Structure 1
């Protein structure tokens, strides 16, 4: 774990260039998991959506994009740039999202992740459990198919 502090702040449309760069670095193009700039702009305009930016030593390290509706929220995107992985950035973002959810009166947080994604360990270590599966949802560049796993955790 790095000894430098991870700084978290609320993001907005002024962070779109940084978000675009982080998505390009963080998401493997074989899976098509990164969103387009227009998708991010569109979702940021929706009530109940928030963006959290993680920085370390003034450099962009990752982000989380969340949508809350009533007492539930969905983690839409979580990205950590490759050189900052396994340094506490993803865990810090998740703690922040869970805390934000609790402050907003949201009881549960959901997410969907490709089976086999390295982030599964982070999610499980952060209290998420599998509640559903969509078989053959993702298709890799090699033609193999992978399930989409639905995970959930309480924010209380």
Structure 2
């Protein structure tokens, strides 16, 4: 991706996208933090009711995805990742807004997410109206055994514009 503006295209994904999802995850998540899921974990999650995948592409290349789950009247954003080359170009925001719109369409009242303390994605979440509502100490275990806190954010659907 160059410095020019490119259209972010979003589509509903599925198990056929696991290869692309895994590649994006490997690029997006630094292994020091232990945040990436395995393909088996993603496939298992996709097989559950209420789970959906949104894939973002630019110029025909998959550059990001969001995996979410609806339970009763709430949605949890399980994973959101963009290739480093696509960051700060609107891909993450487009994915997050797509999750929010789907949550609204499912008549849910709240969207939750969890993110590692210090993750730059917090800026995106705050920009989209999410507020910190909790913390899990030493939740993530990195490759070297180092522990990292997880922060929980949430946003009411009714407040989303």
Gaps in structure 2 of 5+ consecutive residues: none
Over aligned residue pairs, what C-alpha RMSD do you find?
Answer: 1.4
1:2 and 1:88 in contact (8 A); partners too: no
Gaps in structure 1 of 5+ consecutive residues: none
Is the aligned partner of 1:15 residue 2:17? yes
Q: Distance in 1 between matches of 2:102 and 2:32?
A: 32
- Per the alignment, residue 80 of structure 2 pairs with 78
Q: Distance in 1 between matches of 2:111 and 2:16?
A: 26
2:8 and 2:91 in contact (8 A); partners too: yes
SS in 2 for 1:133: strand
SS in 2 for 1:15: helix
- Per the alignment, residue 45 of structure 2 pairs with 43
Q: Distance in 2 between matches of 1:3 and 1:155?
A: 29
SS in 1 for 2:65: strand
Partner deviation per Cα, 1:72-96 (whole Å, 9 max, x = no partner): 0100000000000000000000010
Partner deviation per Cα, 1:112-155 (whole Å, 9 max, x = no partner): 11110011111111110011111222344566543210100012
1:126-145 equivalent positions in 2, closer than 5 A: 126-140=128-142, 145=147
Q: Distance in 2 between matches of 1:78 and 1:14?
A: 18
Q: Distance in 2 between matches of 1:132 and 1:2?
A: 38
SS in 2 for 1:110: strand
Q: Distance in 2 between matches of 1:2 and 1:43?
A: 36
| TM-score, with structure 2 as normaliser | 0.92
| TM-score, with structure 1 as normaliser | 0.95
Q: Number of matched residues?
A: 156
